[in-house]
Copies of this chain bind each other. A is one copy, B any other.
Amino acid sequence: MPEVITAVYEITADDPAARAKLVAVEQSHELPTELAPANAVRDSLAHVRSVVPRAGRPALATVEYPVDLAGGEIGQLLVLLLGNVSLQDGVRLVEVDLPPSLTARLPGPRLGIAGVRALAGEPERALLATALKPVGMTSGQLAGLAYELAAGGLHVIKEDQGLADQPWAPFAERVPRIAAAIRRANGDSGGRSVYLPCVNGSEGQIALARAAGAHGVLVMPGIAGFAALARAAELFPGGLVLAHPSFLGGFTAAAGHGMAPDVLFGTVLRAAGADATIFPSWGGRFSFTRGQCLAIADAARRPLHGMRPALPTPGGGMTIARAPELLDAYGPDTLFLVGGDLRRGDDPRAAAERLVAATR
């Protein structure tokens, strides 16, 4: 019996057992079973392990895939778990169990939670982050803002996903200026704020970020690809790789499609190499529930055959006022991302200090 990848799907169909079989076929040999060659049938055939009907809810189907089908790659694992089925109705991936031989070959976080804490000089308290925005500010304005936020004691200053290579603040001009501002702030305050520019996944931008003295990068796997996380870690040794959820919403937004948020933002992005994974927390302007958010945090951190844990990074409409509630819910091994609320009034440093105080 070869090792298997176990996937659990919610199936909405008149005959969930028949549909589950079609899923197993579509996601493995993708041909009528009788047309698969003998070696394929023997070694590479996915099979349905169980189908559990549930009253008033989609049935739960468990499918087992021989581990070799993933080829040891994060991309092929995703093709296998949801590739073609993502284009069909009535199937949602809600749980994945990866065997040790596969997790050993997948990238996983290079730094993990302990590594991020070491980088930011914060051994145990909750970690705090904010975003440099909006697009339209000049490099000088962004550098000035970065100085204030770092001086205010935030651990991570990341760029907004809206900052690319636009004329107001071109990447090659902006990144060295902001990195220098963060260095100055750290020198003045004795802190160790981490600066993460937003890269498009290209090697040139990652090299420039590293040379400029940034501490890692913000990557959007929904745009740059899932392998871009591990590639960034490789090109930026010791750098923090923070995953941004832009353009990934299609996978989690609708019941009956895509996958559960904890699978995507927890298990998948951690396995792909994110040291920290941003997701929209409940109570803000996005749609995830409290339970879904805490499930993401759990999937990012729980034991997984020795793979390092990733830092759950709830964001999206978070405020200083909610910090105690959220700290209580997520616990300290969390990177809290607070955006617009630090920008009310004209003193971002004081706002950052208030946020720091609110989490002590």
Residue numbers of A with Cβ under 8 A of B are: 22, 26, 28-32, 35-37, 39-41, 43-45, 68-73, 75-76, 78-80, 82-89, 133-138, 141, 160-162, 164-168, 200-202, 220-228, 245-254, 256-258, 280, 285-287, 316, 339-340, 343-344
With A36-B134, A44-B166 given, name 20 new contacts (CB 8 A). A29-B162, A37-B137, A37-B141, A40-B137, A41-B136, A43-B136, A73-B165, A73-B200, A75-B223, A79-B161, A79-B223, A79-B246, A79-B247, A83-B162, A84-B161, A84-B316, A88-B253, A224-B225, A225-B228, A253-B254
CA distance A166 to B134 in the complex (A): 45
Once A68-B166, A134-B37, A165-B73 are accepted as A-B contacts, the answer to whether A86 and B29 lie under 8 Å apart by CB is: no
Please give me the 4 A-B residue pairs with the lowest Cβ-Cβ distance, nearest first.
Answer: A40-B136, A225-B225, A86-B249, A29-B134
Contact check, A247 vs B30: say whether CB atoms are below 8 A apart. Answer: no
CA distance A28 to B136 in the complex (A): 9
Partner of A31 from B85, B133, B227 at Cβ < 8 Å: B133
Contact check, B166 vs A71: say whether CB atoms are below 8 A apart. Answer: yes
User: For residue A44, which residues in chain B have a CB less than 8 angstroms away from its CB?
Assistant: 134-136, 166, 168
CA distance A40 to B132 in the complex (A): 13
A76 to chain B, nearest CB (A): 4
Partner of A134 from B30, B161, B201 at Cβ < 8 Å: B30
Of all chain B residues, the one with the shortest Cβ separation from A344 is B35
Number of copies: 2
User: For residue A253, which residues in chain B have a CB less than 8 angstroms away from its CB?
Assistant: 86-89, 250, 254, 257-258
CA distance A73 to B35 in the complex (A): 43
A170 to chain B, nearest CB (A): 9
Partner of A280 from B68, B87, B256 at Cβ < 8 Å: B87
A-B contact pairs, 24 of them (CB 8 A): A28-B135, A29-B133, A31-B134, A39-B136, A40-B135, A45-B136, A73-B165, A73-B200, A78-B247, A79-B161, A80-B162, A82-B249, A83-B161, A83-B162, A86-B222, A86-B246, A86-B249, A86-B250, A87-B253, A87-B286, A224-B226, A225-B228, A250-B250, A254-B256
CA distance A127 to B52 in the complex (A): 44
Contact check, B40 vs A134: say whether CB atoms are below 8 A apart. Answer: yes
Contact check, B69 vs A135: say whether CB atoms are below 8 A apart. Answer: yes
User: For residue A287, which residues in chain B have a CB less than 8 angstroms away from its CB?
Assistant: 87-89
Contact check, A137 vs B30: say whether CB atoms are below 8 A apart. Answer: no
Contact check, B134 vs A28: say whether CB atoms are below 8 A apart. Answer: yes
User: For residue A78, which residues in chain B have a CB less than 8 angstroms away from its CB?
Assistant: 223, 247
Contact check, A249 vs B257: say whether CB atoms are below 8 A apart. Answer: yes
CA distance A137 to B247 in the complex (A): 35
A92 to chain B, nearest CB (A): 10
A171 to chain B, nearest CB (A): 9
Of all chain B residues, the one with the shortest Cβ separation from A346 is B35
A74 to chain B, nearest CB (A): 8
A21 to chain B, nearest CB (A): 13
